[in-house]
């Protein structure tokens, strides 16, 4: 008796979860589908942009040749960029790789480190990824870099997707335990068609992709909203950190009167006692005398524990702040991991591949879920017509 009561209670709860799952999936399905497809397109963005630079790898220079000053490269880039402001540089440890000069439109020019010759650029590739990122983050296809309304929609859809993944794990559990029942939700059924195929794919893909999907969705929510970080800060007994961390803030206009600092001096001071590095990014201020930000990557993999940041005074060139991963408080450490967790970059190319496969699986989940919902709606309409034949008679006859 108690077993039957427990089963009826479980079925009642399962029914509520199912209808909530169906409603959330129908409401957020299209947005989740867009985010999933664009997520696949962005999976190997870092490698593709790096490969674009690698195609301009230079030949070994003659003996005794020296790299040109970074200021000379920037000056040549400005002359080629049609008046665009130079926003930064990327220098790689490999001496044969070009120096990337980032322009105002986020594209890069690749310059020969020994001759300052402009070898090419990645404007087309950058424009493609910028468009995909806009769509992924806020469903903006052209124009503004982001939309507040679109960002709110994608954030809400992301939370709805988290509910879909978690509730799907409950709905996945077979009503009756048997080898055949578990096989239907664990393995693809060969030869299944129509509703049976969609049901099978929806359950199998949902189960096997759920652990990674939870990481992807939770990390996206953490970045999209402020309240997750505030909860973490409270859990660790921390107050909300101010933007910029307090040190290394911009100085007054008096700094502009000091002699201009060469970029090679900035680079040397930023490296300082740093361990072996893979690449260094210099973000140049829009006005002279403002602080200069430098990010040092110690490995080709995007891992926050293998990166450090340096802030230099734009006038004197003194190191205002050198921040290692170990210097971050627990809340900031956790936040630093969110983006590489979301993209899979924390695991290198293997992690990105897993993220891409799971994102593609999410797109199939949305498609099969909407197909199942549509079939359910059509079946309900047919039942209604069968039970109430008068409704069919009242339909307007189309003009022939």
Q: Looking at the predicted structure, is the pLDDT value of residue 237 above 80?
A: no
What is the tens place of the pLDDT at every residue in 104-129?
Answer: 888 999 999 999 999 999 999 999 99
> To the nearest 10°, the Cα dihedral for 327, 329, 335, 336?
10
* Spatial contact of 363 and 40, defined as CB atoms under 8 Å apart: yes
What is the tens place of the pLDDT at every residue in 10-35?
Answer: 788 889 999 999 999 999 999 999 99
The dihedral sign for the CA sequence 247, 253, 257, 260: positive
48 alpha-carbon distance from chain centroid: 15
Q: Would you place residue 394 in the very low, low, confident or very high pLDDT band (cuts 50, 70, 90)?
A: low
Q: What pLDDT is recorded for position 12?
A: 86
Quote the CA–CA distance of 249 and 244 in Å, as a whole number.
7
Q: What pLDDT is recorded for position 379?
A: 84
Buried/exposed 303-333: b ≥16 CB within 10 Å, e otherwise: bbebbbbbbbbbbebebbbbbeeeebeebbe
Q: Would you place residue 132 in the very low, low, confident or very high pLDDT band (cuts 50, 70, 90)?
A: very high
What is the tens place of the pLDDT at every residue in 83-99?
Answer: 788 999 999 999 999 99
310 alpha-carbon distance from chain centroid: 24
The sheet that has 86-92: what strands, in order across it? 118-121, 108-111, 99-103, 86-92, 279-283, 292-297, 307-312, 319-324
The dihedral sign for the CA sequence 59, 121, 138, 296: positive
Lowest mean pLDDT among 62-71, 102-111, 237-246: 237-246
Task: Compute the average pLDDT of residues 296-312.
Answer: 92
Q: Looking at the predicted structure, is the pLDDT value of residue 331 above 60?
A: yes
Read off the pTM: 0.83
> To the nearest 10°, the Cα dihedral for 331, 337, 339, 340?
180
Q: What are the backbone dihedrals phi and psi of residue 143, each rounded to the nearest 5 degrees, phi first?
A: 90, -120
Lowest mean pLDDT among 47-51, 268-272, 386-390: 386-390
Which 8-state DSSP code applies to residue 397?
P
Task: Compute the average pLDDT of residues 174-201.
Answer: 84
Q: What pLDDT is recorded for position 242?
A: 45
Q: Looking at the predicted structure, is the pLDDT value of residue 3 above 70?
A: no
Q: Would you place residue 377 in the very low, low, confident or very high pLDDT band (cuts 50, 70, 90)?
A: confident
- As to burial, measured by CB atoms within 10 angstroms (0-12 exposed, 13-18 middle, 19+ buried), residue 61 is middle
What is the tens place of the pLDDT at every residue in 40-66?
Answer: 999 999 999 999 999 999 999 888 889
Q: How many CB atoms lie within 10 A of CB 271?
A: 15
Quote the CA–CA distance of 352 and 33 in Å, as a whole number.
19
Task: Compute the average pLDDT of residues 138-158.
Answer: 82
């Amino acid at each position: 008796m108690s077993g039957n009561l427990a089963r009826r209670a479980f079925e009642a709860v399962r029914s509520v979860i199912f209808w909530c799952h169906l409603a959330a999936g129908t409401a957020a399905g299209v947005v989740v589908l867009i985010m999933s497809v664009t997520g696949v397109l962005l999976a190997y963005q870092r490698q593709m942009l790096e490969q674009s630079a690698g195609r301009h790898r230079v030949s070994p220079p003659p003996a005794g040749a020296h790299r040109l000053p970074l200021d000379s490269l920037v000056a040549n880039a400005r002359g080629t960029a049609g008046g665009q402001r130079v926003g930064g540089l990327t220098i790689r440890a490999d001496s044969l790789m070009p120096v990337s000069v980032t322009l105002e439109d986020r594209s890069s020019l690749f310059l020969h480190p020994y001759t300052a010759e402009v070898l090419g650029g990645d404007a087309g590739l950058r424009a493609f990824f910028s468009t995909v990122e806009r769509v992924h983050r806020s469903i903006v296809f052209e124009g503004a870099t982001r939309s507040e309304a679109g960002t709110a929609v994608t954030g809400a859809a992301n939370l709805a997707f988290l509910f879909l993944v978690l509730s799907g794990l409950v709905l996945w559990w077979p009503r009756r335990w048997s080898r055949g029942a578990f096989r239907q939700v664990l393995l693809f059924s060969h030869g299944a068609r129509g509703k049976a195929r969609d049901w099978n794919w929806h359950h199998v893909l949902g189960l096997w992709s759920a652990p990674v999907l939870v990481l992807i969705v939770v990390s996206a929510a953490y970045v999209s909203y402020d309240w997750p970080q505030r909860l973490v800060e409270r859990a660790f007994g921390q107050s909300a950190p101010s933007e910029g961390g307090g040190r290394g803030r911009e100085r007054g206009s008096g700094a502009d009167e000091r002699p201009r600092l060469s970029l090679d001096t900035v680079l040397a001071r930023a490296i300082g006692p740093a361990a072996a590095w893979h690449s260094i990014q210099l973000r140049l201020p829009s006005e002279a005398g403002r602080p200069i930000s430098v990010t040092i990557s110690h490995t080709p993999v995007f891992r926050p524990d293998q990166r450090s940041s340096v802030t230099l005074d734009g006038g004197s060139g003194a190191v205002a702040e050198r921040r290692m991963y170990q210097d971050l408080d627990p809340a900031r450490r956790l936040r630093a991991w969110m983006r590489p967790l979301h993209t899979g970059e924390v695991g290198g190319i293997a992690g990105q591949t897993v993220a891409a496969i799971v994102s593609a699986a999410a797109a199939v989940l949305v498609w099969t879920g909407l197909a199942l919902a549509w079939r359910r709606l059509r079946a309900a309409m047919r039942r209604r017509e069968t039970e109430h034949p008068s409704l069919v008679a009242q339909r307007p006859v189309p003009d022939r």
